[in-house]
Structure 1
Amino acid sequence: QVRHRAHVSGDSRPADGEVPAAVHGRADAAVRQIRVFLRRPRIADAAGGAVRPGRPAGRRGASQPGQAAVLGHHALHAAGLLHAVPVDGPAGGSADPHLPRIAGQADLRDPRDLRVARRVMPAAAHATWLAALVAGLGVLLAAGFAAGFHLAARRRGATPWPLVLAQFAAASPWRPRDLWAVVLVLAAAQFLRRFAPPALLYDVLAFQIALLAAILWRMRGKPQALGARAAPRTVLAEAALRWLAILPLIWFLGFAWNLGLNLLGREPAFQHAVALFLETDTVWEQARFVFFAVIVAPVAEEALFRGLLLPLLVRHAGAAAGVALTALGFAALHGLESLPALAAFSVALSLAYARTGTLWVPMAMHALFNAANLALVAALVRSGALPG
């Protein structure tokens, strides 16, 4: 029936009465879209209600006539044939009587995915993902407040963090010449990067890998250059607790910062790393990006900012100034899109280093932060809130 409607489409039929192949193609696409809709367990109709296909996959049998008509209405609209099909839907009671028959004869075992359905009715196709995303963010927010109260109770009677950082800085084996050596290695790597083709791999080689190599080079002969060792279970528990505790503040600062940018007439943009992640096309590219963002970047950046830079700044400028300058440099490195939120996160990383005495906790916190952000971006793409 859908293909028949393509024949009677007045603006598509040429003078000799032949139907162009393009119209046949659009009609076939409309039929496939109807089949995809009928495979969904629950689809929102045009009036906002719920539509059940009715029978299990593989059996014949139409859903309610008006509901099937609405599905056909949307599919034909996407195919450009809407003008040829008079469909009023369930409320009007004058639905095309042939569309239910198409629904009943559709091959519900057709192994097509939901991409077509998302293009036609994105709100219906993404509703489950969006609801799960909102619920998950709510759970994380509640857990963050609980973790913050727990850490506040633990801090009672503890040694003040400025004193702890001053002790760490005095015992640190790092010297200013080590910092200058690392800076020179990074400058050389960035210079060579200009001659390489634009690719994520070369960006990582020119910064994170070069940074790790330089720090490992300067670590020779320096005992406990990255702080004390700790059991993996302790590291993961402390990292998760402290990451959750800072999460509500990060979200608030990010929201306030973007709101301020909007009020100033500047459209907020994604961080460079997020934009690169959205441009990945294959599973291999996504897996490689996740490895760099969750493993390589946290280790390299924490070794630089908390392992090397923070002790030097605390030794020469004091604990508070050292933490503040480290936070400013950390946030500026990642761009202005999330400057206050990343500065607050950097302060939390420095305090975690002071409270635990090991750099592995800030590294694990950083890895959790990056992994959660990538998961959030992927969920937003899946829910339709961000273009994939």
Structure 2
Amino acid sequence: MNHDNRQSLNCTQRIQRIGISLWVYLILQVAAGFLTSLPLLFGWHVNTTVFMAAAVFCGLPALALALVLTGTPLTGLSTLGHRTLPTLLRAVPMTFFWSIGFSLLWALLGTSSQQLPAVFSTADKIGMFFIIGVIGPVIEELFFRGFAYNCLKGYSPVFAAVISSLAFSFLHMNFTQGIPVFFMALVFCWAYEQTGSLWVPILLHVINNSMALLVGWFPLLIILLLVLAVLGLVVTILMVPAIRQAWHQLMEKRALFRCVWKAPLFWLVGVAFVGFSLYMVVAR
């Protein structure tokens, strides 16, 4: 798609194409899960790492389609950014504040978050760490921050952050993961905007996923996560003025949300997210 065609896309068309790409992402994940599970019908063993890798790598064709449909450039890959360390010192604790905070909330409500598949061998643990802790975050950040956020940023960075974070939330297809990752995604967008480097949200995502895996294998690490979560609460409180300012900026651009309503392929993913999440709650 040439530069002129990119410029001709309006807000509704961009959100619609984000929706198309997100549907492709979801459908490919379902197809990958089905195909990798077929050997179980014959009593054959399916390696956990292979199953997870199939789901993770589905993001690549979806990303390629998204970039072709919109011509959105993946900016921020050629730089480590500016104000990177100060941004990370705030973003890392805030990420764990939302992650740990919601985990504690779900525990109080008697609703457990989705558990990772059990792995036993060292090789499986290394493979899962590489797939979930590294490759998955890279692909997801390229899609949701590199593509979806940049696709809409020209209209309003705050609006782009909300829509791309909703898309990231929808991908998880359950409330217990989808709600906290929405707020975590907002932190990732903020870090991306602050530094101008896509490597910063990638690093934040890698840290989050890696720690989620490691704490399952080394339970004492939960102490570190709790400390980070408390620090994240403090940082979030200190950033209330900036959050309030971002909210006012979003309200000034609230007319843009009409574009979402005119892009059914996007909000229907949200309907599917709510429906599937409610089904999981009722079926539990």
Change over 3 Å in CA distance of 1:231–1:304 after alignment to 2: closer
Q: Aligned to 1:256, what secondary structure does the other structure show?
A: helix
- Is the aligned partner of 1:209 residue 2:57? yes
Change over 3 Å in CA distance of 1:223–1:346 after alignment to 2: closer
Residue aligning to 2:196: 357
Q: Which amino acid counterpart does residue 344 of structure 1 have in structure 2?
A: F
Q: Aligned to 1:281, what secondary structure does the other structure show?
A: coil
Which TM-score applies when normalising by structure 1? 0.43
CA contact (8 A) 1:240 1:368 kept: no
Tell me how far 1:258 sits from its aligned partner.
3.1
Structure 2: gaps of 5 or more residues: 1-9, 38-45, 223-284
Residue aligning to 2:210: 371
Which TM-score applies when normalising by structure 2? 0.56
Q: Aligned to 1:195, what secondary structure does the other structure show?
A: helix
- 2:122 aligned to 283, 305, 319, which one? 283
Give me the whole-angstrom Cα distance separating, in 1, the residues matched to 2:17 and 2:102: 36
Deviates more, 1:225-234 or 1:342-351: 225-234
Change over 3 Å in CA distance of 1:328–1:257 after alignment to 2: farther
Change over 3 Å in CA distance of 1:187–1:234 after alignment to 2: same
| Higher helix content, 1 or 2 | 2
Residue aligning to 1:308: 147
Give me the whole-angstrom Cα distance separating, in 2, the residues matched to 1:226 and 1:207: 25
Tell me how far 1:216 sits from its aligned partner.
4.6
Residue aligning to 1:380: 219
Tell me how far 1:344 sits from its aligned partner.
1.7
CA contact (8 A) 2:72 2:151 kept: no
1:338-372: CA deviations, max 9, x gaps?
44432221110011111111211100100011112
Residue aligning to 2:36: 196
Tell me how far 1:306 sits from its aligned partner.
1.0
Q: Which amino acid counterpart does residue 362 of structure 1 have in structure 2?
A: P
CA contact (8 A) 2:169 2:181 kept: yes
Higher RCO by CA contacts (8 Å cutoff, separation 6 or greater): 2
Identity of aligned residues (%): 17
Residue aligning to 2:93: 244
Stretches (4+) displaced over 4 A:
174-179, 216-224, 232-238, 313-316
Residue aligning to 2:169: 331
Change over 3 Å in CA distance of 1:280–1:249 after alignment to 2: closer
Tell me how far 1:298 sits from its aligned partner.
0.4
Residue aligning to 1:271: 114
Tell me how far 1:208 sits from its aligned partner.
1.9
CA contact (8 A) 1:331 1:343 kept: yes
Q: Which amino acid counterpart does residue 101 of structure 2 have in structure 1?
A: F
- 2:185 aligned to 346, 361, 384, which one? 346
CA contact (8 A) 1:236 1:361 kept: no
Give me the whole-angstrom Cα distance separating, in 2, the residues matched to 1:359 and 1:218: 17
Larger Rg: 1
